[in-house]
Amino acid sequence: MKRHKMSTTYKSGLDFLRSYSGALKLLEVVLHLVLLVSAISLGASIQAQFFCGISIYGFVSSLVLLCLHVRGIIKNSEFPWFWVECVNSALMALLLLTSSSFVVAVLTKGYILTGLGFIAVMVYTLDAIDKFFLARTPRARIVWTTPNMPV
């Protein structure tokens, strides 16, 4: 008798880019590119350099995690990637909140950078919440289909 494997709601490949998590990850990458350009255009202040460093870290980490999702490595791995992403997103939200607050407190021309930074904080907070629920409840990722429905 042939056994059916359970399918998951987690998507990989190009389907990931069309999902909620994929849209958040793409938005993070694009926001960090815009934040990086904005921080560079502010000049050589310490706050702008701090913000630029955080934007570089956020861009690289988001791009690496996006590539891991698209390649399907996270789906096939036993490593707790959702916890790593949850902690990374929470850390990025905290760092962006701190650096955006520094920029708005000191620089007079950094209002656009600060606004985009706060938008990025909201995106990272949503991503951290999404990854927390994915990591905490692994059964929520399992979809029962008709052939393998529990009795």
The pLDDT of residue 150: 58
Confidence band (pLDDT; 50, 70, 90) for 89?
very high
- Structure-token pair, residue 39: 């921080």
pTM of the model: 0.77
SS3 150: coil
Q: What's the chain's average pLDDT? A: 80
- Structure-token pair, residue 124: 């990272």
pLDDT at 4 over 70: no
- pLDDT, tens digit, 9 for 90 and up, residues 118-148: 999 999 999 999 888 888 875 544 444 445 5
What contacts 53, CB < 8 A, 6 or more positions away? none
Confidence band (pLDDT; 50, 70, 90) for 9?
low
- pLDDT, tens digit, 9 for 90 and up, residues 15-57: 778 888 888 889 999 999 998 888 888 777 788 888 888 999 9
Which has more confidence, 8 or 48? 48
- In DSSP terms, 8 is beta-bridged to 142
Give the DSSP H/E element, type plus range, for residue 113: helix 111-136
Nearest to 45 by CA among 103, 96, 4, 89: 103
